[in-house]
Amino acid sequence: MLRDLSEDDIKTLINSDTTPIKEIQKFSCHSQTVERCVKLVTEASNKVWGHEARDVYIRATLKFRSVMPNFFKKSDFKCVVDIKKKK
């Protein structure tokens, strides 16, 4: 929402008595999906520096997650090595 405004514009808007934004869209800000995205952006900010690097990191992470299989129940996960037989 404020991405296209400069810092001076934001300060001017704060000090003015009018509401410059006519319509504020309603977003669900407390959903689990939003919380996951916040966590991912925070993780990216800690790992890389710069807008483009952060964007690449987030896209790569999301692509990797989409390629990995999902395990919905315990029986879907199969151990590669049987620990009980190794003695």
Domain assignment of residue 37, yes or no: yes
Instruction: Indicate whether 35 belongs to any domain.
Output: yes
Is 0.75 surpassed by the pTM of this model? no
Rounded to whole angstroms, the Cα distance separating 41 from 54 reads: 8
pLDDT in tens, the chain (87 residues): 667 778 888 888 788 877 666 555 666 777 888 888 899 999 999 999 999 999 999 999 999 888 776 767 777 666 655 556 555
Q: For residue 68, is it within any domain?
A: yes
- Is there a domain that residue 14 lies in? no
Q: Per the domain annotation, does 22 fall within a domain? A: no
* Lookup: tokens for 46: 């800690």
Q: The domain containing residue 69 runs over which residues?
A: 30-85
Structural domains in the chain (count): 1
Residue 15 lies in a domain: no
Q: In whole angstroms, give the CA distance from residue 34 to residue 58.
A: 14
